[in-house]
Structure 1
Amino acid sequence: MSTKSDKVDRLGELSAVKQDERGVSLWAEAFRQLRRNPSAIVGASILLLFVIISIIGPWLAPYSPTDTMGIREGVIKPGLIPGPSAEHWLGYDHQGRDEFSRLLVGARQTLLVGVISTLIGLTIGALIGGIAGASAGLGGRIGRAVDGVLMRIVDMLLALPSLLLAVSIAALLGASLTTVMIAVGMVSVPVFARLLRGAMIAQSGGDYVLAATSLGVKKSKIAFTHILPNSLAPVIVQATLTLATAIIEAAALSFLGLGNPDSSIPEWGVMLADAQQYLGARPGLAIYPALGIIITALGFTLLGEAMREALDPKLRK
């Protein structure tokens, strides 16, 4: 016949949770999924290499990226641009500058353009989407009105093709690297806004929202301290994917002549634009920066898609 102490011990055994069976957070589980995903590993490796080159590239460059040594040495002639050699691994560019040094130094400018333009789009888009999502969740006439006005503004931005919108903004502000960042950033604003608003509206029906409402917590506090943090996962994933498109769109604006007018400052998009006049003499001048842009964008895309699968339970394998 079991005693009271035996029953207590048995209940303790049943209620005990093993260390490996304890629940983990969404981000911890996502990180575990990413470590087992080959695409995530490849994408993260590419991005880590890109960031390292961006940071230490100017110190690794064997020559100054602005030194026109080829012209000074007389090796650059009309229709003749020397290719790779032992001293210059990727040869000269059209102004006699070392191409390899310019690629290394230009990685920092390319990363800077991608990150800052994405941050611009993320900040403005999250602000609009957060206010719209909170207003829609709060309900009421004022909340619905605020949500409607903000979403109509976003719809107008979405109605314009992204490249046309970026070109229009860049043309209005004038050609510069700062203009490229603003133009590319504004293109991604409606994407972040609609994504965050939709995520907040979906989260507003959660059980934790109902529990907080039952406890008498104000709706505005629920929206910004509970719903908003739980809605950021898809926005962060989208930011990773947007970095890839931002680098490509910035290169497109530079190719159209709306980037930094000072071509002596190396940036992959500007280098690609300058190379179009010399494709016959040195196609490598276009191939090298194009490969850099493609590989970097691929790294961001692979990591972003892997994060999407890891954070979305419906896509987990």
Structure 2
Amino acid sequence: MSAPAGTPGTPEAGDRTDRAEGAAPATPRALARRRRREALRRFAREYARNRAGLFGLAALLAIGALALTAPLLVDQADLTITGAPGAAYQPPSVEYPLGTDNFGRSILDLVIWGSRVSLTVGFLATAVSVVLGTLVGMTAGHFGASGGAAGRIVSSALMRVTDWFLVLPTLVLAVALAAVLPRGTGTIIIAIGLTVWPATARLVRAQTLAVEARPYVERARALGGGHAHVMAWHVLPNVMPVVLAQTTLLVATSIIAESTLAFLGVGDPTVVSWGGVLEAARNAGAISSGIWWYMVPPGLAIALVALSFTLCGRALESVINPRLRG
């Protein structure tokens, strides 16, 4: 009577033993990569269920592609006052789908080229704001939770500075900084970045306090982990999802702020941006003259980008916070 398949000593059992012994055990790094891939897949599935977020993402990809290909679509010579090919104030037509301005420049070309400056300022100003707000909020939260008496003094000082910036009118402060510093795109980026960071700092501080109370952070301190280790390896990874969602919302705020500063005349007059086009339309009297095609396209572009980033930010928040789903 033959032994049942799979019992010790049979070929099937030997094959399985060889396979088990020949398979290399998964390393911690491989397991970590696998968990990251699974987390990304779950994130993509949850985000795909949000139709508004998908619309915002598609609109942002289209606008980003338009901004990147603007040098291929628009001749820079046509953007100058002396090189404008058309007549002034032509209404929308086949040749000029969005009409022309008071210098004969195509409004469509101005809107396409202006997307480069507006998006650049929005992203860079947001980066300045997010980095500054994350550093201040995480430092205040960490030392306020585990820094002792000296840490609480540092945390209190940082939050009082944050509160001072928070109560100041953002637009007034940005206009003041833009008026004092040399005029240019870099000045606009700094002015916006230094005025919209307090909300991020407050949000990151609250999230840091929640993370600091978790058992694995206490275990890391008990094993000798210093402030830098705890903040870099335990606090920062857990606050990054919130920071990412806040970033998408701040980009829309930064783009609107850049357009407002340019509309008020404190932007860089040598570059073409959506706010600059609106400011030029106001100076040319397009509002009183009823030349709507000079004002509506850049205004709609600003509204579309702000709406798209807001939809993406809300979708990210719903994915990160399960209580917001549904």
State the TM-score, normalized to the length of structure 1: 0.85
Alpha-carbon distance in 1 for matches of 2:291, 2:191: 31
Task: State the partner residue of 1:288.
Answer: 297
- Tell me by how many angstroms 1:273 deviates: 1.0
Task: State the partner residue of 1:152.
Answer: 160
Preserved CA contact (<8 Å) 1:241 1:304: yes
Task: State the partner residue of 1:11.
Answer: none
Task: State the partner residue of 2:50.
Answer: 37
Aligned residues: 290
Preserved CA contact (<8 Å) 1:69 1:96: no
Task: State the partner residue of 1:168.
Answer: 176
Task: State the partner residue of 1:61.
Answer: 74
Provide closer, same or farther for how the CA distance between residues 61 and 221 of structure 1 changes in structure 2, counting only shifts above 3 A: same
- Tell me by how many angstroms 1:138 deviates: 2.1
Preserved CA contact (<8 Å) 1:61 1:100: no
**CA displacement 1:108-137 (0-9 Å, x = unmatched):** 111111011101111221222222122113
Task: State the partner residue of 2:192.
Answer: 184
Paired residues for 1:1-317 under 5 Å: 28-61=41-74, 64-68=77-81, 75-76=87-88, 81-262=89-270, 265-276=271-282, 277-279=285-287, 280-317=289-326
Preserved CA contact (<8 Å) 2:264 2:279: yes
Preserved CA contact (<8 Å) 2:77 2:84: no
Provide closer, same or farther for how the CA distance between residues 93 and 143 of structure 1 changes in structure 2, counting only shifts above 3 A: same
Preserved CA contact (<8 Å) 1:165 1:187: yes
Preserved CA contact (<8 Å) 2:122 2:254: yes
- Percent sequence identity over aligned pairs: 34
Alpha-carbon distance in 2 for matches of 1:28, 1:139: 38
- Tell me by how many angstroms 1:207 deviates: 2.3
Provide closer, same or farther for how the CA distance between residues 138 and 187 of structure 1 changes in structure 2, counting only shifts above 3 A: same
Alpha-carbon distance in 1 for matches of 2:170, 2:94: 43
- Tell me by how many angstroms 1:216 deviates: 4.0
- Tell me by how many angstroms 1:99 deviates: 1.4
- Tell me by how many angstroms 1:61 deviates: 2.2
**CA displacement 1:190-244 (0-9 Å, x = unmatched):** 1121111111111111122233234443354223211221112111100100001
Secondary structure class of the residue paired with 2:194: helix
Task: State the partner residue of 2:11.
Answer: none
Q: What are the ranges of 5 or more consecutive residues in structure 1 without an aligned counterpart?
A: 6-21
The one-letter code of the counterpart of 1:272 is: L
Preserved CA contact (<8 Å) 1:174 1:258: no
Preserved CA contact (<8 Å) 1:70 1:95: no
Higher gyration radius (CA):
2
Output the aligned Cα RMSD: 2.2
Provide closer, same or farther for how the CA distance between residues 72 and 23 of structure 1 changes in structure 2, counting only shifts above 3 A: closer
- Tell me by how many angstroms 1:62 deviates: 6.1
Alpha-carbon distance in 2 for matches of 1:259, 1:32: 41
The one-letter code of the counterpart of 1:146 is: V
State the TM-score, normalized to the length of structure 2: 0.82
- Tell me by how many angstroms 1:153 deviates: 0.6
Alpha-carbon distance in 1 for matches of 2:170, 2:248: 18
- Tell me by how many angstroms 1:70 deviates: 8.3
Preserved CA contact (<8 Å) 1:65 1:102: no
Task: State the partner residue of 1:14.
Answer: none
Moved more, 52-61 or 276-285: 276-285
Q: What are the ranges of 5 or more consecutive residues in structure 2 without an aligned counterpart?
A: 1-6, 8-33
Task: State the partner residue of 2:28.
Answer: none
Secondary structure class of the residue paired with 1:117: helix
Alpha-carbon distance in 2 for matches of 1:141, 1:37: 46
